[in-house]
Homo-oligomer: A and B are copies of this chain.
């Protein structure tokens, strides 16, 4: 019997921490995809990939030029996992080549540029273009959504509290990367904002405010950023979301979301745990916490890749429309503006930002 699987030929651009993981996910969790190429503009990443026996075994061509990679024979899709500043241009180039695109969030820190990708994708409706809001694929968040929308477990949701708190990074990696990430509310809270839209029924922002502080990374001051921030978004229709973002947690990657409704509350990961082990000793009882988002969301990334690949192969809608990311970015930038200016940012009833 012959294998008739015919996997989707995909390439990954960007071989940083996440790019490598995305390649791994495709190789080990998505048999309906075949990684035919990877690409990086970073010489050391390219060198690493070329010396990687596993990549050789799996027949992956390593490129140092994105355009050349787009010309890989038979290539059907691209997973864009480079730095945020080239997300839009690389997406546009892939769309121009009629390639399906899975692009890491956000499309751009510039709303107009992001809109250009949305427009380009809309012009080619047969292409699947998706922004990578990985938490949408997490089993717990999906269960929360099912409990809200299918089981009515909490009545009508009206309030979301959501945190993204990273373990303090002593290596300097985070600060180097901070220069081009758009600020703490754009980089760090983007998933929380997306979750609040998901769980509050896609409401329209009315006003927001934020406050921040610098506790461990004074060098962020030059970048007009902070390392810990709290923000509140009021939506039209009596809904509220509030967020806490941190770069400096001592105990691990602490990401939680609470959704309060008229008849109950859902708590997702309010007590984060590395695994099922608890140690009881002289210090009491303790458990460890995941050090970073990968441990928390590894399986979500696998499902995201699977669903994207399936959407392409079976010509189904992608799980999350590209436009959704625009509103998330609008709110993230408003919170960042409020943080820096100390002013309330307001929106009209159509969601148009007023200041």
| Cβ-based interface call for A311 (8 A) | no
| Cβ-based interface call for A287 (8 A) | yes
* Contact bitstring A266-280, B, C-beta under 8 A = 1, else 0: 111111101111111
Q: How many residues of A contact B (CB 8 A)?
A: 85
Tell me whether A214 and B230 are in contact (CB under 8 A): no
* Contact bitstring A48-72, B, C-beta under 8 A = 1, else 0: 0000000011111100000000000
Q: How far is the CA of A58 from the CA of B60 in the complex (A)?
A: 21
Tell me whether B213 and A159 are in contact (CB under 8 A): yes
Q: How many copies does the complex hold?
A: 4
| Cβ-based interface call for A172 (8 A) | no
13 additional A-B pairs beyond A242-B244, A254-B280, beta carbons within 8 Å, are A1-B56, A1-B59, A1-B61, A4-B56, A147-B277, A153-B279, A155-B250, A230-B232, A232-B232, A250-B264, A251-B282, A270-B271, A271-B285
A residues at B contact (CB < 8 Å): 1-6, 27-29, 31, 56-61, 139-140, 143-144, 147, 153-155, 158-159, 161, 207, 209-216, 228, 230-234, 238-240, 242, 244, 246, 248-252, 254, 260, 262-272, 274-289, 342-344
Tell me whether B268 and A276 are in contact (CB under 8 A): yes
- Pull 16 A–B residue pairs with CB atoms less than 8 Å apart, ordered by A: A3-B57, A3-B59, A28-B29, A140-B275, A143-B274, A144-B277, A230-B240, A250-B262, A251-B282, A251-B284, A266-B277, A270-B270, A270-B278, A272-B285, A284-B289, A285-B286
Determine the residue in chain B with the shortest Cβ distance to A299.
Answer: B299
